Structure 1
Amino acid sequence: MTIPRLDPSTVTIGRAMARSRRFEVFEATCGGRAAVAKRVSADSPVRHGPERLLQREYRTLHRFSHAAIPKPYGILDDAQSGAQYLVLERRAGRPLSEVIAAGMLRRGRLGAREWEDSTRDIVLQLGAALAYLHDHGVLHNDIKPANVIVHAAGDRIMVSLIDFEASGPSDAGTPQYAAPERQTDGQQVDERADVFSLGVLVFELLTGMCPYQAVDPDASRAEKRAWPAGGGSTPDRLVPAMHYLDMAQGSSEHKVWPAIRRALDPSPAMRPASIRSFLGELDPALVLPSQSDGPGPLLAVVLVALACAALVLPVHDSVVLRWLLGRTELTLCAPALERLARTVCKGYHAGDPQCETRLRRLAAPVECPNRVQQLQTCLRKR
């Protein structure tokens, strides 16, 4: 396949956006279109034929036509610097890693850190993109929040999967997210390696914490063997995260932790066999068509968001609110919500000293009118 060589007069390289182990990424325009430009960094560990990495990524992306996968435009040879750039479509939005770090998007679609509609929508779109890759015989090999771009499109979150530089057979990905077999020389790797990485990402999306920290391959493998499949106690730093997951299970008919635990098993044979299987274990509603179901974008199966998913609340508040909506007639706005906070916390969360404080935040003057409208909508839908 001949890779297009871009006319330098049609490409503008802008400010630096990001830097990985091997690449530097810049804002760019290409023929008036928003783009990104990637080049091999000067201190990259790749010493021989670094341009092959760019060409390989172009060839990988060129094969695909999927709403969540950016399109490649071509290769730019910069005569002034001698550098070679891969120029790609730039997707609007921000990395999922930034969203997770922020905790929540104010008035956005990513609300409580639990298994709600916004979380389900992100996981479904990402899973659909990965299943599409696997159907075409390609592993991503570096699934992590920094490689997922999310942006609001009306009342929906849209997801893009970026950074295919590690899609080759010899790449190990990012240690904290990589499957143990990917960190072991000579071990066969298949789509279950991406299942592992997606499991790590879902854990982090739900809890705000990555379950693994080690960077050295040997230490990383040992860490993944020890927990959760090893039967050892939960590391101290993950105790709050497991509390959030327990809350997610207690407030949902879907038991997400057993599915995540299986995905994080260090043995590929013990994991779900495919992305489709993992999604089905996470939530029966996350059903993707098989490759034999015919052509068409897999994103057509993305769920319709429910009216109540717009509530941007910490996890405990969401649990109590669902209880309120199901069992209590609400006289809405600040005075009523304060009374309800006292009543509900006394009878429903007596052991939680912060319950009333959290619920009273619902009555903040700036937020209350918006909450009232949302709750009224939810009540009318019941």
Structure 2
Amino acid sequence: MLRDDLRTLWTAPRPPDAPARVRRDWVLLAAGLAGVALEAALRENVVWRPVAVVLAVWLCLLPLWRRTRPLAMVTLAFGSVILLPLASLVAAPREPVGLYTGAVVLVLVYALPRWGSGREIVLGGAVILAAFSLCAVTDETPPGEQVVGLVFLLLPGLIGAAVRFWTTARERQWEQVRSREREQLARELHDTVAHHVSAIVIRAQAGRVLAGADPSAAVEALEGVEEEGARTLEEMRAMVAALRDRGVGAELAPPAGVADLERLVRAPGGRLTVGLALDGEVDTLSPAVDAAVYRIVQESVTNAMRHAVSATEVAVRVTAERDTVRVSVRDNGQRTGRGRDGYGLAGLRERAALLGGTLRAGPGAEEGWHVEAELPRARRESGAHSRPRR
């Protein structure tokens, strides 16, 4: 089992979509160069000052590529660190060479397990340990302090590994949320279409009976409609059966929609007053959009009931325009951060994206929490969506 774990670590790929550079990289570079300048100007006991300054500037530049080239940056940084003890062995006096600003290499130690592949982590870890071992041999630091130094050196790597594990686990949770929302949407589409196909089959059967024996062509056409409708219904049931918790023989009924919002907001047990306003032709929406509107209002009102601080009412407005449907849910509670933007809203965003729309949620400009969604009356292909990486 240990061998399998080591093989898994060795073959682990890099995390996807690693950003090349972000704003904080330039802040780190500026802070590092400023530290080099101050230390070179103010510190008196610097051995080989020009060499130490050049090395420190070099180490400050390497973190710019720490996400895209983690192993190469660790090798260059700690390879340079290895050369200094070797040089100090043949030079006098035998004192440590370098500036304290060189501690920026700890950022590279963090980046190696955070952004590197399994192979890069193993090889980079070997380079780091080799550099530390050489420094420990050439230095006269007591063993206890060397152990503390090793822990201090490896701690950023442990933090990077923990952040990577946490991020991976969260990505899996997001994927589960998206999968559940897709499954729910597939169920609703299945129920809606199956409901209509069932009606087609029934009408075809009635048409065959009413046609009688005289119009044989009509009877033949009705038989074809009946056969095709029954086959379509059977194939759809088989296709979606694996996604359903209930059996394929369950009662087929359209999912809840805009027509059910009145009952939703009047449901007893809520601590808030919910006001509902419907504008436009909301009774002619497509089944998928109709169900999506209901789910958005249901989730948003439920979140307000559970989490709105000092709120007394929730305002729900559904506006059907010529090409779009707009949904707005706002409470009048205290203005808070994005802590309530959880997996439920993530699922709603996925549903809106599948239908070609958008959904935004966050604190209002003056009070409360606002959820705003815009859905097309006719489905459009949704674009690619991404989240920023840490």
Structure that is richer in helix per residue: 2
* TM-score normalised by L of structure 2: 0.26
Report 1 or 2 for greater relative contact order, CA contacts < 8 Å, sequence distance ≥ 6: 1
